[in-house]
């Protein structure tokens, strides 16, 4: 079965968007359909907006399951209700897998939670992609451009002075010629750190101005303010996750927990107020995260409760 959007009338855009979302949620989309969806999204900005609105609408429907479950049902309708609830649950799970479908469609490479990948680009540059990350490759004759769509990556750039290597994240850019550096998109900022060579970082608010970083240099920027130089870091500790290490150096406790959470499915929840939480320092292994969680909890006098594989509570 193949899905195609219906007639091109303006009032059919929303219907087509909902059709694509339903088809995507089915988990049965073919490669040809994925290509058709990309073409449809790129054809007009209104298509992308309608698709995003349809996706949000379907996700909001998740709350309806609980509302319906609370309504008493006649005995003869319970079997149908259970069947319908099962179908709805399956659809909502499928939609959850595509919580960010536009990123999935744009990405040339991605990783799942807990996964890491090593990629060799056409120019010989090497990319290490960290957990739950995605990027798009946009190479041209004039420049080598990478769009970091989500997460974190470390780049070992093949030298080519006539064809600069640029990584775009949240409207800012990190530009290099031949060097090694990492870029991470966090919830409220983008961080750039350099191990070799030099990288210029330009944030949206800076215009043509930029910050030049050398080995051990770090900078942060967000959508509004200009980029700021952060505390220097030992070059060997940049992107330590490539060696299976997570390094904390005086990090606030909640940020340390959030960092471990990036590598695990589900969520870690801090269920107790900690007004005087002590900063955390230490080196933890990415393949021994249960022990790392227990060690972090112990620093604050917390206990660890693993409710399921997908939910850990600290209290």
CATH code where residue 190 lies:
2.60.120.1440
Instruction: Kindly state whether residue 2 falls inside one of the protein's structural domains.
Output: no
Domain total for the chain? 3
Instruction: Kindly state whether residue 5 falls inside one of the protein's structural domains.
Output: no
Instruction: Kindly state whether residue 165 falls inside one of the protein's structural domains.
Output: yes
* pLDDT attached to residue 248: 94
* pLDDT attached to residue 101: 65
* pLDDT attached to residue 222: 82
Phi then psi dihedrals of residue 291, to 5 deg:
-65, -35
Coil, helix or strand at residue 25:
helix
How long is the chain? 315
Q: Are residues 148 and 216 in the same domain?
A: yes
Instruction: Kindly state whether residue 150 falls inside one of the protein's structural domains.
Output: yes
* pLDDT attached to residue 252: 94
* pLDDT attached to residue 200: 93
* pLDDT attached to residue 229: 77
Phi then psi dihedrals of residue 217, to 5 deg:
-80, 145
* pLDDT attached to residue 148: 97
Residue 24 gets the label, from left (phi > 0), alpha (psi -120 to 50) or beta, of alpha
* pLDDT attached to residue 228: 78
* pLDDT attached to residue 265: 83
Closest alpha carbon to 295 in 307, 306, 304: 304
Domain C-terminal end among 61, 89, 105: 105
Residues 6+ apart with CB under 8 A from 263: 113, 114, 131, 246, 286, 289
Those residues of the chain that have pLDDT short of 50 are 1-10, 61-98
Coil, helix or strand at residue 165:
strand
Tell me if the pTM is above 0.75: no
Q: Determine how β-strand 311-314 pairs with β-strand 245-251.
A: unpaired
Q: What is the pLDDT of residues 83-113, one digit of tens each?
A: 444 444 444 444 444 456 667 778 899 998 8
């Amino acid at each position: 079965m193949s899905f195609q959007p219906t007639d091109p009338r303006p009032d059919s855009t929303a219907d087509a968007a909902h059709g694509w979302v339903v088809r995507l949620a089915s988990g049965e989309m073919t490669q040809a359909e994925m290509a058709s969806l990309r073409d449809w999204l790129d054809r007009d900005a209104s298509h992308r907006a309608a698709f995003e609105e349809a996706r949000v609408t379907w996700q909001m429907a998740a709350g309806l399951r609980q509302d319906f479950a609370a309504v008493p049902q006649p005995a003869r309708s319970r079997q149908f209700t259970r069947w319908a609830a099962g179908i709805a649950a399956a659809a909502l799970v499928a939609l959850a897998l595509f919580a960010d479908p536009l990123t999935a469609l744009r990405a040339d490479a991605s990783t799942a939670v807990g996964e890491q990948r090593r990629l060799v680009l056409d120019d010989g540059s090497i990319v290490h992609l960290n957990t739950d990350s995605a990027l798009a490759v946009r190479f041209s004759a004039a420049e080598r451009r990478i769009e970091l769509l989500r997460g974190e990556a470390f780049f070992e750039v093949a030298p080519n002075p006539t064809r600069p290597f640029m990584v775009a994240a949240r409207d800012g850019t990190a530009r290099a010629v031949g060097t090694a550096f990492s870029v991470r998109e966090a919830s409220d900022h983008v961080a750039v750190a350099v191990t070799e060579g030099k990288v210029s970082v330009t944030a949206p608010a800076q215009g043509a101005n930029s910050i030049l970083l050398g080995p051990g240099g770090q900078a942060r920027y967000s959508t509004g303010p200009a980029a700021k130089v952060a505390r220097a870091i030992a070059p060997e500790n940049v992107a330590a996750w490539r060696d299976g290490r997570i390094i904390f150096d005086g990090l606030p406790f909640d940020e340390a927990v959030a960092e471990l959470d990036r590598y695990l499915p589900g969520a870690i929840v801090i269920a107790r107020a900690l007004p005087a939480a002590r900063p955390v320092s230490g080196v933890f292994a990415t393949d021994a995260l249960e022990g790392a969680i227990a060690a972090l909890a112990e620093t604050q006098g917390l206990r660890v409760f693993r409710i399921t594989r997908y939910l850990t509570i600290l209290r």
